Amino acid sequence: SSQGAMMDNRFATALVIACVLSLISTIYMAASIGTDFWYEYHTLSPAENVSEAGRSIWEEFVSEEADEKTYTDALFRCNGTVGLWRRCITVPKNSHWYSPPETDMTTNCISFSLSDQFMEKYIEPGNHNSGTDLNRTYLWRLQFLLPFVSLGLMCFGALIGLCACACRSLYPAIATGVLHFLAGLCTLGLVGCYVAGIELLHKKLPLPDDVRGEFGWSFCLACVSAPLQFMAAALFIWAARTNRKEFTLLKAYRVA
């Protein structure tokens, strides 16, 4: 019985660690979806240059007609950041033509609408006569859908885990593990699609010489989330499979 208790402790520990990893990866995933720092542009030229053009850049940036080229140029020029849902630029607070150059800057964001998310990308960004760029169109749609699929799988896995606790059986933990593994694949896919999409965009619209681009911390959260999901999956599956034989024996003993 002491051996049984030792085994039970091992499984309990594995499951607790798996649950903690699962929770952390869910929080990271949700935070990365909800924040705007997937990709950041750092404009090295001083802010005064923007102040004359600031108002017109901002008006173009927020207009519903803003095409991909228009808003990407604005992101380049105004220290832009891009999330999965929103794009932001930093502009002077009062960019009136009569005011002196402002150093007081404010960050303004605008959301991508659902139609933006599913809109076709063109071979030449901003030129709808150039034909559809299928690669970029589908990469963009996938990077929008995959994080939600990943979160959905994790939540469904958590529900199965709760049922397993209620039934006092470890067997459903295999299903939880498999769902976490699939969620990890979705997260990896999301990261891959995002990197490929950015690379393809920058081939079409190269960064100006005085602009530096880098992946931001929201992107890093998604990158960290994937291995956590795989580790949680491995622990759930290991605990359920190894414990299954022992649990069956224990049940038979109790019934007898």
CA atoms within 13 A on the CB side of 112: 22
66 pLDDT more than 90: no
pLDDT at residue 20 in the model: 95
SS3 214: strand
Identify the H or E element spanning 203: helix 173-204
* Predicted confidence (pLDDT) per residue in 22-44, tens digit: 999 999 999 999 999 999 999 88
The answer to whether the CB of 40 falls within 8 A of the CB of 214 is: yes
pLDDT at 222 over 60: yes
Q: Is the pLDDT of residue 54 over 70?
A: no
Kind of pairing between the strands at 39-43 and 211-215: antiparallel
Mean of pLDDT over the chain: 86
Q: What is the mean pLDDT of residues 164-173?
A: 79
Give me the mean pLDDT over the 115-136 stretch. 89
The per-residue pLDDT for range 39-51, each reduced to its tens digit, is 999 988 755 555 5
Read off φ and ψ for residue 83, nearest 5 degrees: -110, -170
Mean pLDDT of 125-149: 92
The domains found in the chain, sorted by start residue, are 1-248 (1.20.140.150)
Q: Which of these ranges, 18-32, 55-69, 131-145, 242-256, has the smallest mean pLDDT?
A: 242-256
- pLDDT at residue 4 is higher than 80: no
| Contact call for residues 41 and 213 (beta carbons, < 8 A) | yes
Ranges 27-36, 61-70, 180-189, 232-241: which has the least confidence: 61-70
d(CA 82, CA 161): 35
DSSP annotation of 107: E
pLDDT at residue 72, as a whole number:
92
Short-list 107, 106, 82, CA closest to 32: 82
Taking the C-alpha atoms of residue 121 and residue 160, their distance in angstroms, rounded to an integer, is 39
Q: Flag the least confident range among 21-35, 90-104, 165-179, 198-212.
A: 90-104
Please say whether the beta carbons of 240 and 178 come within 8 A. Answer: no
Q: How confident is the model at residue 7 (pLDDT cuts 50, 70, 90)?
A: low
Task: Give percent above pLDDT 70 in the chain.
Answer: 84
End-to-end Cα separation, the chain, in angstroms: 16
Q: Strand runs (DSSP E) across the chain, as ranges?
A: 39-43, 81-82, 86-92, 105-111, 211-215
